[in-house]
């Protein structure tokens, strides 16, 4: 007979069924039965062999004879559940051992069948067990994927102030409290918001960011509340707003201090009632979201000035998290810089491994008015312009060096030497260009380079 | 030799139905059919505790064929109730990707379910199940296509939902000579 490989006609993978029975005829007939249904089948004659087969390959259901010499079905079920609590186990019993089957169900068995069993019942029970196992596996895979996607970039912070912030983030994440994150530009306010969301019970729903400062006041209302068709000129379709999109999840209002007075009233109402109507609509829409907002402005002063509503301020300022500027936690700069170096080196496929001590010293001494964002830009730039494997001083932005390249002494010679070095760096070592900038002739510059032992 | 040997067991007084079954299989498998009396005692497959005949024993006996010219496939056609140790009954049993199959007419009869006898219905059910079991000997598994003869049927009424033919996919495998059984 001409035989072809089964793979040629392999049907879809229906799953794997492991049959454990000490009686050969039982094992054999079950294997044949499930094989014809298209399952991957395997058999074991006792508990030890079953545990070995479970280690060897993945299964979607186990059919287990409750009465076996040595390790009986109940004991084996307990052992299997220790290794894989999700694996559905179907007990096969004789009429006489129904009590044991009930015990097995109490201990977590998926179901039991009494032999001899109706073919239809057997197929149905196994099909349900395999389906449930596969759905659970798929579910946990998807959850892992969501966790990976929703977990933001690592927060690096060994300093005392940052450790306190992270502790607060962790404890507030589990609650549903409104959080106000404060900090200078570039301190990582959005990252903290994402971390709170990723560690909250709302993590399987979206975090919807709204940059209130970037959206014109006239559009913010429609952006947040959405609109019905025909609500205004150009509203051709009904559109969901960010509040609806955040249903179940977190609404992140960035630059909340820029919201105008009219919008502040609307926002306050929604935060209190969790209900609103789309623009041009009357039907109330109920939403359930958590609010995290951020600002780099002095909200208290704005309240005093009357530009920010006091009631909204109190509504938002339930838990306040203040992010310290980078210059106040300089000990975090080396680990942060190394983390950023590793991240960008991988992203850009550049074989950088570290910083020259002088370059790191410069990074630590710099005040970083743009905070972590500025540091990240500096490291990214260094990886683009520099030569692997280490970042050198000359790879860092000129501005950084200018601010720290102060003359070593107060003498005229020290000042002259520092100025020549700076201009040579700026002109990329072009002596003619440097001489022009310094307004001296080229020969004089060469002499001074030689005198101060500078390398163009 | 090529062809299918049909071996009736406890299928007395139904010669006409057996001939029609043979012709039908000849058409479906495009091969010759030979009718042979059993060379073993089917009664040895009887299990007195269950009052049924063990399908796997009959398959084993069919394979122990003393004929000088073995047919490519061999089909036992039984008028008695068949079982496997774990199941209450089976309509048939076959070696997956092998040579032997057995089919029973017992539970295909309307009378078993308290309904009036219907010979036409019985023949339709029998030929579908015979093609189905022989399909397994070509390595075919149960087919998800609702009309394909390889669709699994647990109840007699379910057999009527499918046709007596293979779907296109299963047909192509039979035409190619079958698939090898998977290792386990």
pLDDT confidence bin for B96, thresholds 50/70/90: very high
Average pLDDT over residues B119-146: 95
pLDDT single digits (tens) A102-129: 888 888 899 999 888 988 899 999 999 9
Whether the CB of A49 is below 8 Å from some CB of chain B: the reply is: no
Q: DSSP letters of A162-193?
A: HHHHHHHHHHHHTS---EEEEE-TTS-HHHHH
Backbone φ and ψ for A90, nearest 5 degrees, come out as -110, 125
In whole angstroms, give the CA distance from residue A250 to residue B164.
Answer: 59
Contact assignment for A5 to B179 by CB distance below 8 Å: yes
Question: Are A92 and B90 in contact (CB < 8 Å)?
Answer: no
Q: Name the residue in chain A with its Cα closest to that of B177.
A: A2
pLDDT surpasses 90 at A230: no
Contacts of B177 in chain A (CB under 8 A): 1-4
Closest residue to B177, CB basis, from A2, A25, A36 = A2
Mutate to test the interface with B, among A9, A12, A38, A123 (most CBs of B within 10 A): A9
Cβ atoms B134, B75 nearer than 8 A: yes
Q: Answer whether B88 sits within 8 Å of A117, measured CB to CB.
A: yes
- The reply to whether A35 touches chain B by the CB within 8 Å rule is yes
Considering only CA atoms, which of A9, A353, A62 is closest in space to residue B150? Answer: A9
Structure-token pair, residue A79: 């052992």
For residues A66 and A104, is the Cβ–Cβ distance under 8 A?
Answer: yes
Query: Using one digit for the tens of pLDDT, what is the confidence trace for B59-94?
Result: 999 999 998 889 999 999 999 999 998 899 999 999
pLDDT of residue A10: 44
Summary mean pLDDT of chain A: 85
Name the band, by pLDDT with cuts 50, 70 and 90, for residue A167: confident
Contact A29 B179 (CB under 8 A): no
Q: Which residues of A touch B97 (CB under 8 A)?
A: 3, 6
ipTM: 0.84
A29 to chain B, any CB pair closer than 8 A? The answer is: yes
CB contact under 8 A, B96 and A32: yes
> What pLDDT does A9 receive?
41
pLDDT above 90 covers a percentage of chain B that reads 83
Structure tokens at A394: 């000359």
Residue A293 burial (10 A CB sphere; 0-12, 13-18, 19+) = buried
pLDDT, tens digit (0-9, with 9 covering 90-100), for A40-80:
999 999 999 999 999 888 999 999 998 888 888 899 999 99
Which residue on chain B is closest to A23 by alpha carbon?
B85
Quick one: pLDDT at residue B184? 36
pLDDT more than 70, % of chain A: 89
b/e string for A217-244 if b means 16 or more Cβ within 10 A?
A: eeebbbbbbbbbeebeeebeeebebbbb
What's the burial of A312, exposed, middle or buried (CB within 10 Å: 0-12/13-18/19+)?
buried
Residues of A within 8 A of B92 (CB-CB) are: none
Residues in chain A with CB shorter than 8 Å from the CB of B154 are: 118-120, 123
Chain-chain contact of B84 with A33 (C-beta, under 8 angstroms) = yes
Catalytic positions of B are 133
Q: Reply yes or no on whether the pLDDT at A332 is more than 60.
A: yes
Angle at A279 between CA A274 and CA A280, to 5 degrees: 130
Compute the average pLDDT of residues B16-35. Answer: 94
Q: What values do phi and psi take at A179, rounded to 5?
A: -120, 135
Contact A85, A129 (CB under 8 A): no
> In chain A, what residues touch B72 (CB-CB under 8 Å)?
1
Cβ atoms of A209 and A254 closer than 8 Å = yes
Would you say residue A215 has pLDDT above 90? Answer: no
Is pLDDT of B182 > 70?
Answer: no
Secondary structure in 3-state letters for A114-135: ECCECHHHHHHHHHHHHHHHHH
From A11, A23, A29, residue closest to B84, measured CB to CB:
A29
CB contacts < 8 A (A, B): 97
Q: How far apart are CA B113 and CA B106, in angstroms?
A: 11
CB contact under 8 Å between A35 and B56, yes or no, is no
CB nearest A31 (choices: B154, B155, B184):
B184
Identify from B86, B96, B97, B100 which residue to disrupt to test chain A contact, counting A C-beta atoms within 10 A and taking the largest count: B86
Question: DSSP code of A221?
Answer: H
Identify which of A4-13, A330-339, B166-175 has the greatest average pLDDT: B166-175
Position A151 scores a pLDDT of: 57
Average pLDDT over residues B174-179: 84
Structure-block tokens of residue B110: 């309307």
Nearest-Cα distance to chain A for B20, in Å, is 26
Q: Which of B89, B177, B184 sits opposite A42 (nearest CB)?
A: B184
Q: Does A31 touch chain B (CB under 8 A)?
A: yes
Q: Rounded to whole angstroms, what are the CA distances from A23 to A50, A140, B180? A: 14, 36, 27
């Amino acid at each position: 007979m001409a035989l072809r490989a089964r793979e040629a006609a392999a049907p879809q993978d229906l799953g794997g069924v492991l049959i454990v029975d000490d009686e050969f005829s039982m094992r054999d007939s079950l294997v044949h039965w499930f094989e014809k249904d298209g399952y991957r089948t395997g058999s074991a004659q006792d508990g030890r062999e079953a545990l070995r087969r479970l280690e060897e390959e993945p299964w979607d259901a186990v059919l287990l004879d409750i009465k076996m010499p040595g390790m009986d079905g109940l004991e084996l079920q307990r052992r299997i559940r220790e290794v894989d609590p999700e694996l559905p186990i179907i007990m096969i019993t004789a009429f006489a051992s129904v009590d044991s089957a009930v015990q097995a169900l109490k201990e977590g068995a998926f179901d039991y069948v009494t032999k001899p069993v109706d073919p239809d019942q057997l197929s149905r029970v196994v099909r349900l067990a395999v389906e449930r196992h596969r759905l659970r596996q798929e579910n946990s895979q998807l959850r892992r994927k969501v966790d990976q996607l929703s977990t933001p970039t690592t927060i690096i912070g060994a300093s005392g102030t940052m450790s306190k912030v992270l502790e607060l983030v962790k404890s507030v994440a589990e609650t549903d409290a409104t959080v106000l994150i404060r900090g200078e530009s570039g301190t990582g306010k959005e990252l903290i918001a994402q971390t709170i969301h990723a560690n909250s019970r709302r993590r399987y729903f979206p975090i919807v960011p709204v940059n209130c400062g970037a959206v014109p006041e006239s559009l913010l209302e429609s952006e947040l509340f959405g609109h019905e068709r025909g609500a205004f000129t150009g509203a051709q379709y009904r559109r969901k707003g960010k509040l609806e999109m955040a249903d179940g999840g977190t609404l992140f209002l960035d630059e909340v201090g820029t919201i105008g007075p009219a919008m502040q009233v609307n926002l306050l109402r929604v935060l209190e009632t969790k209900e609103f109507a789309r623009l041009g609509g009357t039907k109330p829409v109920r939403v359930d979201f958590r609010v995290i907002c951020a600002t780099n402005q002095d909200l208290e002063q704005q309240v005093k000035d009357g530009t920010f509503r006091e009631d909204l301020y109190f509504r938002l300022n339930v838990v306040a998290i203040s992010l310290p500027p980078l210059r106040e936690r300089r000990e975090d700069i080396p680990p942060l810089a190394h983390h950023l170096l590793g991240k960008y080196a991988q992203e850009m496929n550049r074989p950088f491994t570290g910083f020259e001590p002088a370059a790191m010293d410069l990074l630590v001494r710099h005040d970083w008015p743009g905070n972590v964002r500025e540091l990240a830009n500096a490291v990214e730039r260094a990886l683009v312009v520099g030569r692997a494997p280490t970042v050198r001083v000359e790879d860092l932005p000129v501005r950084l060096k200018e601010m720290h390249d102060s003359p070593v002494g107060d003498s005229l010679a020290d000042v002259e030497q520092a100025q020549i070095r700076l201009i040579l760096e700026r002109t990329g070592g072009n002596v003619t260009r440097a001489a022009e900038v310094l307004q001296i002739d080229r020969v004089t510059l060469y002499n001074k380079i030689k005198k101060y032992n500078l390398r163009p | 030799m090529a062809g299918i040997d049909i071996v009736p067991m406890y299928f007395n007084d139904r010669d006409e139905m057996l001939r029609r079954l043979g012709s039908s299989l000849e058409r479906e498998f495009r091969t010759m059919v030979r009718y042979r009396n059993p060379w073993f005692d089917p009664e040895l497959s009887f299990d007195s505790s269950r009052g049924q005949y063990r399908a796997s024993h009959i398959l084993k006996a069919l394979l122990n064929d003393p004929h000088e010219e073995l047919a490519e496939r061999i089909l036992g056609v039984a008028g008695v109730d068949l079982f496997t140790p774990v199941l209450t009954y089976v309509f048939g049993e076959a070696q997956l990707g092998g040579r032997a199959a057995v089919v029973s007419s017992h539970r295909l009869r309307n009378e078993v379910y308290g309904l009036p006898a219907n010979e036409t219905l019985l023949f339709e059910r029998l030929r579908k199940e015979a093609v189905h079991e022989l399909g397994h000997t070509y390595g075919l598994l149960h087919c998800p296509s609702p009309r394909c003869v390889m669709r699994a049927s647990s109840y007699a009424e379910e057999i009527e939902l499918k046709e007596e033919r293979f779907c296109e996919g299963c047909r192509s495998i039979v035409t190619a000579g079958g698939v090898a059984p998977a290792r386990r």
